[in-house]
Amino acid sequence: MSDTQDRPLSPEPKPDDRLDHALRPRHLDELIGQERVRENLKILIAAARQRGEALDHVLFYGPPGLGKTTLSHILANEMGVNLKVTAGPAIERAGDLAAILTNLRAGDMLFIDEVHRLGR
C-alpha cells in the first residue's frame, strides 16, 4: 500500500463519498435529533441573514459520528455559500493553511475535519 492508503483519514475522496453525500440531510429541518443544536443554529443563521453578513465562527466537537461534517454542509447550504472542506492532517505547514485561506472567495465557508490532528 502507498503512504496515502495507509492513513485512516485521507484528503482524497473515497468511492462511497458520493452515496454518503446523497443521503445526508441538506437542511436543518431534515436533521433528526439534536433539537437544541438545531434551534441555536437556526438563530445563528437568521441573525447572520438579518445583518447581511457571513456566519460567525463555529466550532463543532465530539466523537466521530455525531454529525459535525453534516452540520457544516447544512450550514453552507442554508446560507447559500460554497463549502470548502479539508482535513487537519492535510495541513502540514502554516503555508498549507495560508494557501487554503488565500483561495477562499468572499462568503465561502471553510470546514477543517479532524482539526485536532493539525501539526503544531
* Res. 4 pLDDT band, cuts 50 70 90: very low
**Structural domain includes residue 50:** yes
Number of compact structural domains in the chain:
1
Length of the chain measured in residues: 120
Q: pLDDT tens digit string along 16-62?
A: 666 666 778 999 999 888 899 999 999 999 999 999 999 989 999 98
Residue 66 confidence (pLDDT): 86
Give the separation between CA 55 and CA 52, rounded to whole angstroms.
Answer: 9
**Structural domain includes residue 97:** yes
Residue 34 confidence (pLDDT): 86
Residue 111: how many other CB atoms lie within 10 Å: 19
**Structural domain includes residue 69:** yes
Residue-range definition of the domain harbouring residue 112: 15-117
